[in-house]
Structures are given as C-alpha cells and as structure tokens.
Amino acid sequence: GALAGRGLEIAYIAHPVDLFFMQIQGSARIRLPDGTALRLNYDGHNGYPYTPVGRLLIQRGLVAREAMSMAAIRSFIEQNPQAGADLMRENRSFVFFRAVPLAADAGALGAQGVPLTAGRSIAIDRALHAYGTPIFIDAALPLARATSADPFRRLMIAQDTGSAIVGPARADLFFGAGDAAAAVAGRIRHPGAFTLLVPRLQPVRAKTP
C-alpha cells in the first residue's frame, strides 16, 4: 500500500476486534509485553464515512435491535471469525493514531487536546458544536446493569469528537477507562435531552449620528 515501508507503525494489536473498537472510540491505552502502557489518540482518518456495523447486524437479522450493544457486536465477531472479518471490512472508515505522553493516571486525551474526565466529558459533532461548550444531559441510562434505567442528569463539557458522531443531537458520553467503564459505555444507545448552554447576547442597538 501507499504507507508501506515508511515506518509509520506504532504497535501491533493481537486481536483485530480490539483494533476495530479502537477505531470507533478514537483513543486507546495499550499494554505492551514489557508491562508499560502506550497511550494513543486520534490523529485523523482516511475520509470515508463511518458505517455502523451494529445497524448492519440488525438489518440482517443477526442481532435483535433490543439486544444491540458493543458487547453484542464483539460477541458476534468473536464467534463468527470469517463473517466478523467481512463485517468489519464493510466499515471503510480508518482512523490513524499518534502516541501521546500522558501520566499513567491521566484520562484519555480528547480531540480538544486536554485529558478527558470520566462522567464529565462528552464527544460531539465538531462541524456543529464548539469544544468547551457546556451541555446538560438528562437521560435514563443503564448504568447499574443492562436492564436498569438510572437517572443521569449532569453538566458535561464538549471535549472530543469522532467520525461516528454526526448530527446536532448526537453525542458520546465518556465513562473512563477499564472493563467496567467499557461495559457501561457499550450498552448505552439511549435517547436523552441535550441542552447547550451558551451566553445570552445583548441585542445590538442602532446608533444615530
């Protein structure tokens, strides 16, 4: 390919499904064989739009709509290696990463250039919203377990984006790193109230000479 032999590789991922979800999330923390952690952040993409593979699984009757989640997508890919590989290839969007020097206890670095805060950072469509915008979220989310509807009402800050986040009221909530956070994030696909807080501008008064 066009990038072969240029020494642009950062790391090799053992499992293709993990790389696939890295592409969706836009950032990752990789544990290397020597035990050290390598932090990667979004650095651009190939220009192709994101194709939601979860929607394809629903349309083809492979996963029920009410059962769709990141865990369901992962399970299908792992249990059906060839069909899973074909499914992942249907998403032509490809994300490029860069290594970022962050402290081990720091959050993932958002596209705004600052570490994300679990439960307070939100990813938005950058074509429509500005980084740093405070956004109040009011929703009922499955935080405790997959079948719960826990109240989630809090002010969050737009600090990240992603190729799958398109539209004025589409957003991804950041819940942190680790298996527990991934489990919560993976089962959220719920509607909610999305209120932007912006300054009230004073009307301009015409001046007479």
What span, in angstroms and rounded, lies between the C-alpha atoms of 158 and 60? 34
How many alpha carbons fall within 13 Å on the CB side of residue 61?
0
- In this predicted model, what pLDDT tens digit does every residue of 56-97 receive, in sequence order? 999 999 999 888 888 899 999 999 999 999 999 999 999 899
CATH entry 1.25.10 includes domain 16-51+91-196: no
pTM of the prediction? 0.70
pLDDT score of 104 more than 70? no
Q: Are strands 150-160 and 121-123 parallel, antiparallel or unpaired?
A: parallel
Instruction: Provide the pLDDT for residue 56.
Output: 96
Helix (H) or strand (E) holding 57: helix 53-59
Of residues 204 and 155, the one with the higher pLDDT is 155
| Comparison of pLDDT for 123 and 205, the residue scoring more | 123
How many whole angstroms separate alpha carbon 156 and alpha carbon 199?
Answer: 16
Tokens of 81: 């290696």
Q: If you count them, how many residues does the chain have?
A: 209
- For residue 204, is pLDDT > 60? no
Running DSSP on this structure, what letter comes out for residue 192?
Answer: E
Q: Strands (DSSP E) along 101-191, which ranges?
A: 121-123, 134-141, 150-160, 172-173
For all residues of the chain together, what is the average pLDDT? 86
Indicate the domain borders of the chain.
16-51+91-196
Burial class (CB in 10 A: 0-12, 13-18, 19+), 100: middle
Q: Which of 48, 50, 68 is nearest to 59 (CA)?
A: 68
| Reported confidence tier of residue 105, pLDDT bands at 50, 70, 90 | low
Query: What's the pLDDT score for residue 183?
Result: 79
- Give the type of residue at 114: V
Question: Using one digit for the tens of pLDDT, what is the confidence trace for 121-161?
Answer: 999 988 899 999 999 999 988 888 877 888 999 999 999 98
State the pLDDT at residue 203.
Answer: 63
Instruction: Say what percent of the chain tops pLDDT 90.
Output: 34
**What pLDDT was estimated at residue 159?**
93
Angle at 155 between CA 153 and CA 158, to 5 degrees: 130
Instruction: With cut-offs at 50, 70 and 90, classify the pLDDT of residue 207.
Output: low
Alpha-carbon gap, residue 187 to 86, rounded angstroms: 23
Q: What percent of the chain has pLDDT over 70?
A: 92
